[in-house]
Amino acid sequence: MASSRLLFSLCLLFVEVLALAKAQQPADQPKMLYHDCVGKGNYTTNSAYQANLNQLLNSIYTNTEINNGFYNFSYGQDADTVYSIALCRPDISPDVCRVCIRNASDLLVRLCPNFVEAIGGLDNCTVRYTNRSIFNRMEKGPYFWVYDDRVNVSDVVGFNQSRMTLLDRLRDEAAAGDSRYKKAMGQIAAPNFQTIYALVQCTPDLSASECRDCLYNASGLIPECCKARQGGRVIYPSCNFRYEIDRFYDPSTNSIPPPPDSTSNNTVPSPPASTSQGKKGMKRNVIIIISIVPIAISVILIVCVCIFLRARRKQKGEEEAKDLNEMEDVELLQLDFGTVRAATGNFSEDNKLGQGGFGVVYKGTLTSGQDIAVKRLSRASGQGELEFKNEVMLVAKLQHRNLVRLLGFCYEKEERILVYEFLPNSSLNNLIFGIFVI
């Protein structure tokens, strides 16, 4: 009986953890790294322009033919035509690129509601759209920079020299690219045994001299963005560069694959080795996840239902024959509401650790000096005292090393509170958010 109830509680725990994982998903949404809603005019909601824009951004995501990371599309008629250009970091796979573009355009449309023109980007891609033709046009604005100043280099002049030498070299290499790729990546030794790694790229619709000009102009922003910083990037609509003191790019994608040649029989260009590898690896993961997750969930659900039904059946007969000793034990864990309130500074916002599916968790300190985590269940739980204490008893018995220890509980009027030991900096605290379902 006790073990099946225990299993039942574990099942509920699992369900809450699932609900929690779901509730936390919005927080995982990528944040736009940089964006600008270009103030050149607004379109009206439900206009033809808006419809064209949505259609266009969608078509970038669904286009699986382009694999060089540069997307140039237009859609619509006359004044309602939308033009868009998207550019991915050159060392990522086409699949990752398209997901990045979808995420970036979703965010951009939301961040710039009704703006005719906008530009923005995530870590690995930049998207822009407008109502004027932008293909074959070199544009230097609006521009952005992003930097990393976790470490500042000591020899600023020497570092600057090396960085400039590297960017000059890569600029020429990128400009020499063809109409599919204008990119280059490389490294250089810097003072103090450091190495600088950099990646530069232009949208491949630029001419060689436009690409060189764009990158030259972008590197002119180094004094403002980057100076002594260990990493930085400058993003123009038509070109961008990035440097770091760690190798942040995939060097095996450095070579430019041969263009499709109509005179040879080999009409399908072979993609760079690493790209196809990345693609394969991703597919395998997706398949594994797709096939395992539903099976696992079904099995767990079936087990839960069986245990639930069994527990219900047994409960009826055994309810009255409750073990009195157990009830005495549980009284020992009961805490006074005033004690808990004092320990958490009257449940102050400052002490709030987080919010789970079934209540708020606070950090507190008992007068003995012991740190505790306090889970205050939401009031609508509507549970009777006996049921509540039974559940507390179960959790108290469940002293597994991977679970935080229950120190006590509090049951007063509307209040249902659980007190756990507090483990600083431990991911175990995350468990508290999901640990108890009442």
Ligand X SMILES: *[C@@H]1O[C@H](CO)[C@@H](O)[C@H](O)[C@H]1NC(C)=O
Q: Residues in the site for ligand X, rule: CB under 6 A?
A: 28-30, 39-42, 72, 74, 79, 92, 96, 99-100, 103, 114, 116, 122-124, 131-133, 135, 140, 149-152, 157, 160-161, 164, 217, 220, 223, 265
Tell me how far apart the alpha carbons of residues 262 and 427 are, in angstroms, rounded to a whole number. 58
Amino acid present at 207 = S
Q: Which residues make Cβ contacts (< 8 Å) with residue 310, sequence separation at least 6? A: 4
Which residue, 157 or 295, is less far from ligand X as judged by CB? 157
How far is the first Cα of the chain from the last one, in angstroms, to the nearest whole number?
19
Which residue, 11 or 92, is less far from ligand X as judged by CB? 92
Q: Shortest gap between Cβ of 14 and ligand X (angstroms)? A: 23
Q: Shortest gap between Cβ of 319 and ligand X (angstroms)? A: 47
Which residue, 39 or 258, is less far from ligand X as judged by CB? 39
Can you give the three-state secondary structure of 279-292, one letter per residue?
HHHHHHHHHHHHHH
Instruction: Give the residue among 62, 218, 209 at the shortest CA–CA distance from 140.
Output: 218
Q: Shortest gap between Cβ of 362 and ligand X (angstroms)? A: 30
Query: 140: annotated binding-site residue?
Result: no
Tell me how far apart the alpha carbons of residues 217 and 175 are, in angstroms, rounded to a whole number. 14
Do residues 41 and 82 lie in contact, with contact meaning Cβ atoms separated by under 8 Å? no
Which residue, 220 or 338, is less far from ligand X as judged by CB? 220
Indicate the pairing of strand 371-377 with strand 359-365: antiparallel
Instruction: Give the residue among 361, 381, 380 at the shortest CA–CA distance from 371.
Output: 361
Q: Shortest gap between Cβ of 195 and ligand X (angstroms)? A: 18
Angle ∠(260,264,270) on CA atoms, nearest 5: 40
Angle ∠(222,33,102) on CA atoms, nearest 5: 130
The neighbour count for residue 86, using CB atoms within 10 Å, is 27
Q: Shortest gap between Cβ of 124 and ligand X (angstroms)? A: 4
Q: Shortest gap between Cβ of 112 and ligand X (angstroms)? A: 9
Which residue, 117 or 391, is less far from ligand X as judged by CB? 117
Which residue, 6 or 99, is less far from ligand X as judged by CB? 99
Binding residue numbers for ATP = 375
Binding residue numbers = 375
